[in-house]
């Protein structure tokens, strides 16, 4: 499967190595020797679910003919084409992505053979409530100019006029993300915009720091870009080797030392200038050993360090500093939804003393921030379809509540009002379609229950009640005499002594060879048969009347007789249980009759929003061209489209008939 965005066809040596080891362990343990434990089994790409199944369900995939990814993908997925912002942030384009699932119940049933999925709504842990704040800033004129320059660079790369070693889309993407954070990362000499998202973040950090002085509450700041540069050992040795004379010359001519701008140091310096003690601000990068990291985390938990700045990689999973955390700041959008989940997991966590916490996400409009949040939303779509506690519908391409906040942020970034409206409608229509699909599935289940399930269950339970009543009459006709024993027939012998009867039952154990029932006698009007079950461990005695009454036997002579009588005497209680189940089935039947045929309550809202979305799609498709095509004149585009197709010429018939042949040609061209 090629030319689908988001699908990588390469592999890694360590991954292949683990697959081989998993296969080996499966062979020697009968597929029972491997356990994977993770909070984000699908963190970035849809291919990860197939990869997980390859590791843990290789034989299952082989049996079902799904061992190759294309077979798996054609069974459970579909590529969809949608309009999205171009990476350079200035236009829109149609892009094919793998983001839709089919046959979800079967996929989840197969995956749950090895996966025990627990989501936060199932666990209901005592964690603080998260309040999200989307802080949007406007780009400066310099940033706007740079974004245009990025668009021009991207156009040149697409047309192949630039050597990939000089400039490529990876460099454009990297520069675009840096530009969205702060223009000084591109050039430290550029002015510091007082309204930038870094300064907005500093304002929020200082305000919260001041408001929470009494409780010494703490904050986390996440930025995966512009991290502090540590001086390497080589740099230190080189610095020591410089002679004192050279230092003296440098000082005498006042040569400025080169300084690299980092957002980390900029935030720290601004906070210190406002009065925050330097000892209360820390970088996670300074804790370069486990001992230092443990000590730093302890200081954050106690409130000694009140502002901790770091990246997702160093401050994500395993960072337990939640005790006093009141706020978390996302300066940069990560590429993976799993990273956002890991970040939020630092503060929305058990052990946090605050009932409510605040998560700030900072966005610079009309920059790469828009594309970054959109990418995360696309990835979250399919993850949410799989890692959910809800019952999966037959097909789904919706996002759940986790992804809605991503879509909201993405909408804030887009400059075109129509795109904003389209993004909102995309989310609303997808959500309503999922709700309608769930409603329809429920209606189908109700129909099945009314026509088949409930009648079958009711008749079955009526039969059970009649059987219990008949067996209770048999039992009443064969009571024990007062302070006596009713007697038991074993292998044709009538035994009136309890000990003899119990011993005779134990003697029959040698006749039982497996699941094939062996008749051994009669007791109180019930035929007794013996089976050996559970791989030869359990002897099961079944007393047969209208119903079957099973008793697990032991080596205790008198204990077996007590067990048999207890099972027979419990028939009244078992009949009551079945009667309660029957009453419940009648109640469910009436409730199903009341619910069947009810229309989808939000049908009108879905119709209106779907119609508006179709209008917007039609409007946007008018100018649905890539940035390169927009730079080419209309005449050139027309000329290009008017070129004769070699494939069409090859498929054209040798002679054209006046009536049927043109139609046949059109069909062939369509094929």
Give residue-wise pLDDT tens across range 128-178: 999 999 888 888 888 888 877 877 777 777 777 888 778 877 777 788 888
- What does the pLDDT average to over 437-441? 86
Joined together, the tokens standing for residue 232 give 């390497």
**Range with the poorest average pLDDT among 106-110, 170-174, 358-362, 492-496:** 170-174
Identify the pLDDT of residue 39. Answer: 73
- What does the pLDDT average to over 247-273? 66
Angle, CA of 134, 378 and 345, to the nearest 5°: 55
* More confidently predicted of 374 and 528: 528
Torsion of CA 224, 225, 226, 231, to 10 degrees: 60
**Range with the poorest average pLDDT among 50-59, 284-293, 382-391, 417-426:** 382-391
Q: Per DSSP, what are the bridge partners of residue 579?
A: none
- What does the pLDDT average to over 209-228? 90
Element (H, E) at 142: helix 141-159
Q: Per DSSP, what are the bridge partners of residue 461?
A: none
DSSP-H helix ranges across 337-416: 337-344, 368-386, 401-413
Angle, CA of 90, 91 and 93, to the nearest 5°: 145
Identify the pLDDT of residue 4. Answer: 66
Q: Are 415 and 428 in contact (CB under 8 A)?
A: no
**Range with the poorest average pLDDT among 21-35, 397-411, 470-484:** 397-411
Q: Are 193 and 208 in contact (CB under 8 A)?
A: no
Q: Give 383's pLDDT tier (boundaries 50, 70, 90).
A: low
Cα–Cα dist 254/248, whole Å: 10
DSSP class of 131: E
pLDDT tens string 68-78: 888 888 888 77
Q: Is the pLDDT of residue 410 over 70?
A: no
Q: Which of helix, strand or coil describes residue 129?
A: strand
**Range with the poorest average pLDDT among 230-244, 326-340, 352-366:** 230-244
Q: Is the pLDDT of residue 58 over 80?
A: yes
Cα–Cα dist 551/496, whole Å: 21
Ordered by start, the domain boundaries in the chain are 1-116+366-415, 124-138+195-364, 139-190, 462-590, 603-670
**Range with the poorest average pLDDT among 231-245, 476-490, 548-562, 589-603:** 231-245
Identify the pLDDT of residue 308. Answer: 93
pLDDT tens string 539-594: 899 999 989 999 998 888 888 888 998 999 999 999 999 999 999 999 988 988 88
Q: Is the pLDDT of residue 244 over 50?
A: no
Q: Is 331 exposed, middle or buried (0-12, 13-18, 19+ CB in 10 A)?
A: buried
DSSP-H helix ranges across 481-569: 498-507, 557-569
Percent residues over pLDDT 70 in the chain: 75
Query: Among candidates 317, 325, 304, 322, which has minimal Cα distance to 343?
Result: 317
Joined together, the tokens standing for residue 474 give 């048999």
Q: Is the pLDDT of residue 535 over 50?
A: yes
Q: Is the pLDDT of residue 21 over 80?
A: yes
Q: Is the pLDDT of residue 500 over 70?
A: yes
Torsion of CA 176, 180, 183, 187, to 10 degrees: -30
Identify the pLDDT of residue 629. Answer: 40
Residues 6+ apart with CB under 8 A from 375: 335
Alpha carbon 549 to its chain's center: 46
**Range with the poorest average pLDDT among 119-123, 127-131, 236-240, 268-272:** 236-240
b/e sequence 506-537, b meaning 16+ C-beta within 10 Å = eebeeebeeeeeeebbbbbbbbbbbbbeeeee
The architecture of the domain spanning 124-138+195-364 is: 3-Layer(aba) Sandwich (3.40)
Mean pLDDT score across all residues of the chain: 78
- What does the pLDDT average to over 380-384? 65
Q: Is 465 exposed, middle or buried (0-12, 13-18, 19+ CB in 10 A)?
A: middle
Cα–Cα dist 537/408, whole Å: 61
Cα–Cα dist 92/99, whole Å: 19
* More confidently predicted of 151 and 218: 218
Identify the pLDDT of residue 373. Answer: 74
Query: Among candidates 462, 222, 473, which has minimal Cα distance to 327?
Result: 222
Q: Are 466 and 576 in contact (CB under 8 A)?
A: no
Helix 401-413 crosses helix 417-448 at what angle (to 10 degrees)? 160
Q: Give 8's pLDDT tier (boundaries 50, 70, 90).
A: low
Identify the pLDDT of residue 55. Answer: 92
Q: Give 81's pLDDT tier (boundaries 50, 70, 90).
A: low
Going through 171-271 in order, the beta strands assigned E by DSSP cover 218-222
pTM given for the model: 0.51
* More confidently predicted of 157 and 63: 63
pLDDT tens string 628-648: 344 444 444 444 444 555 445
Cα–Cα dist 623/638, whole Å: 15
Q: Are 48 and 42 in contact (CB under 8 A)?
A: yes
Q: Give 315's pLDDT tier (boundaries 50, 70, 90).
A: confident
- What are the two backbone dihedrals, phi and then psi, of residue 658, each rounded to the nearest 5 degrees? -70, -25
Helix 401-413 crosses helix 368-386 at what angle (to 10 degrees)? 160
Identify the pLDDT of residue 230. Answer: 61
Q: Is 379 exposed, middle or buried (0-12, 13-18, 19+ CB in 10 A)?
A: buried
Alpha carbon 517 to its chain's center: 49
Identify the pLDDT of residue 639. Answer: 44
- What does the pLDDT average to over 189-206? 92
Q: Give 20's pLDDT tier (boundaries 50, 70, 90).
A: very high
Q: Are 62 and 50 in contact (CB under 8 A)?
A: no
Element (H, E) at 95: strand 92-102
Identify the pLDDT of residue 242. Answer: 38
């Amino acid at each position: 499967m090629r030319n689908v965005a988001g699908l990588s066809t390469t592999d890694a040596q360590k991954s292949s190595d683990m697959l081989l080891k998993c296969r080996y362990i499966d062979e020697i343990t009968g597929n029972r020797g491997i356990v994977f434990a993770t909070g984000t089994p699908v963190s970035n790409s849809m291919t990860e679910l197939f990869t997980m199944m390859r590791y843990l369900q290789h034989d299952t995939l082989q049996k079902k003919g799904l061992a190759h990814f294309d077979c798996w993908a054609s069974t459970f997925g579909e590529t969809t084409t949608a309009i999205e912002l171009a990476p350079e942030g200035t236009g829109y384009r149609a892009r094919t992505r793998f983001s839709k699932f089919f046959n979800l119940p079967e996929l989840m049933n197969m995956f749950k053979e090895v996966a025990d999925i627990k989501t936060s709504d199932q666990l209901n842990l005592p964690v603080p409530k998260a309040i999200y704040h989307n802080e949007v800033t406007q780009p400066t004129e310099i940033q706007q100019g740079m974004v245009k320059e990025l668009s021009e660079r991207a156009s040149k790369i697409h047309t192949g006029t630039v050597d990939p070693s000089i400039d490529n889309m990876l460099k454009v993407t990297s520069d675009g993300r840096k530009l969205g954070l702060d223009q000084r990362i591109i050039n430290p000499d550029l002015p510091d915009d007082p309204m930038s998202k870094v300064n907005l973040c500093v304002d929020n950090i200082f305000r919260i720091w001041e408001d929470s002085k009494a409780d010494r509450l703490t904050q986390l700041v996440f930025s995966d870009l512009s991290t502090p540069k540590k001086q390497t050992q080589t740099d230190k040795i080189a610095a020591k080797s410089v002679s004192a004379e050279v230092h003296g010359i440098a000082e005498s001519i006042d040569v400025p030392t080169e300084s690299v701008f980092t957002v980390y140091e900029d935030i720290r310096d601004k906070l210190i200038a406002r009065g925050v003690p330097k000892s209360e601000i820390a970088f996670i990068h300074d804790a370069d050993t486990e001992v230092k990291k443990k000590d730093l985390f302890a200081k954050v938990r106690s409130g000694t360090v009140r502002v901790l700045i770091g990246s997702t990689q160093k401050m994500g999973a395993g960072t337990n500093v939640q005790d006093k955390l009141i706020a978390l700041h996302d300066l940069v959008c990560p590429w993976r939804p799993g990273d956002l989940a890991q970040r939020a997991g630092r503060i929305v966590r058990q052990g946090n003393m605050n009932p409510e916490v605040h998560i700030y996400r900072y966005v610079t409009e009309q920059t790469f921030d828009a594309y970054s949040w959109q990418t995360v939303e696309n990835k979250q779509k399919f993850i949410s379809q799989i890692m959910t506690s809800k019952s999966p519908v037959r097909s789904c391409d919706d996002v759940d509540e986790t992804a809605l906040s991503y879509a909201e942020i993405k909408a804030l970034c887009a400059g075109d009002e129509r795109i904003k409206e389209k993004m909102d409608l995309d989310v609303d229509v997808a959500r309503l379609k999922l709700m309608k699909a769930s409603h329809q599935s429920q209606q189908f289940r109700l129909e099945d229950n009314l026509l088949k399930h409930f009648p079958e269950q009711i008749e079955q339970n009526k039969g059970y009640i009649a059987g219990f009543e008949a067996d209770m009459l048999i039992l009443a006709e064969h009571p024990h005499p007062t302070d006596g024993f009713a007697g038991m027939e074993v292998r044709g012998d009538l035994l009136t002594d309890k000990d003899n009867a119990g011993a005779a039952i134990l003697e029959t154990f040698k006749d039982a060879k497996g699941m094939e029932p062996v008749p051994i006698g009669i007791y109180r009007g019930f035929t007794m048969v013996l089976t050996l079950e559970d791989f030869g461990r359990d002897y099961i005695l079944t007393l047969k009347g209208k119903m079957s009454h099973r008793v697990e036997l032991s080596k205790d002579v008198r204990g077996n007789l007590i067990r048999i009588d207890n099972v027979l005497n419990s028939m009244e209680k078992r009949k009551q249980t079945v009667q309660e189940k029957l009453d419940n089935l009648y109640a469910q039947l009436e409730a199903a009759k009341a619910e069947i045929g009810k229309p989808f309550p939000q049908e009108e809202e879905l119709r209106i929003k779907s119609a508006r979305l179709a209008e917007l799609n039609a409007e946007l498709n008018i100018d649905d061209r890539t940035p390169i095509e927009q730079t080419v004149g209309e005449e050139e585009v027309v000329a290009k489209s008017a070129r004769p197709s070699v494939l069409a010429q090859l498929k054209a018939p040798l002679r054209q008939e006046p009536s049927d042949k043109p139609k046949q040609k059109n069909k062939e061209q369509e094929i």
